[in-house]
Chain A
Amino acid sequence: GAGVSQTPSNKVTEKGKYVELRCDPISGHTALYWYRQSLGQGPEFLIYFQGTGAADDSGLPNDRFFAVRPEGSVSTLKIQRTERGDSAVYLCASSPLVVATGELFFGEGSRLTVL
């Protein structure tokens, strides 16, 4: 497809489990972003990549959260020892390059529910 693809679309897990969320950006987009959207709130920045490196991870809430983008394309957001408060929709976006004037192209999100 031509858009940003996120899998799984829904993930239900138990407290304490490990979770991986995958993002496949638009082909050729060098910048990739992760946001988290809790119910009734706007998206909250987590991390963004320029190529393979994390250029800004200041939004990651704690060390249970980690993201990689080893080949500069697909990215995986990893959450260890999940907590009920991690329940949210995790959004991935990409853009042709990291510029403040550019628009972000968002996927439909991965809804995570931690029981």
Chain B
Amino acid sequence: AQSVAQPEDQVNVAEGNPLTVKCTYSVSGNPYLFWYVQYPNRGLQFLLKYITGDNLVKGSYGFEAEFNKSQTSFHLKKPSALVSDSALYFCALKGGGSQGNLIFGKGTKLSVKP
């Protein structure tokens, strides 16, 4: 079965420090992986995606993610966190058999303190 796991319910980071939000996946075949962010009272917003190519993917707002096939991970990173990065982050995987079926993780709440 295909699945996505976000092992941390919450990540706390001081402003200016690097941040990492973890994601691991299980899939048969090549994975298509995504990160979305949900700000309070806002819709989910696309951050970045990995389809093929370079393992380091750059996205919106200075975020990047590293695809690691041997560890089946796709961790989200940012070199220097901002208070405004505080939000709920979701990792997602394209499910097999359907172009429209994204499988989302449970989400990780990121809290960046001044």
A binding-site residues for B, Cβ under 8 Å: 3-4, 31, 33, 35, 40-45, 48, 50, 55-56, 58-59, 91, 93, 98-101, 103-109
Query: Are A99 and B107 closer than 8 Å at their CB atoms?
Result: no
Query: Are A107 and B43 closer than 8 Å at their CB atoms?
Result: yes
Residue of B nearest to A31 (CB): B100
Query: Are A45 and B103 closer than 8 Å at their CB atoms?
Result: yes
- Flag whether B106 is at the interface (Cβ < 8 A): yes
Cα A64 to Cα B30 with chains together (Å): 35
Q: Number of A-B pairs whose CB atoms are under 8 Å?
A: 72
B76 nearest CB across to chain A (Å):
14
Using a Cβ–Cβ cut-off of 8 Å, how many residues does chain B contribute to the interface with A? 26
Query: Are A106 and B43 closer than 8 Å at their CB atoms?
Result: yes
Query: Are A4 and B100 closer than 8 Å at their CB atoms?
Result: no
- Flag whether B56 is at the interface (Cβ < 8 A): no
A-binding segment of B44-52, B63-71, B77-85: B44-52
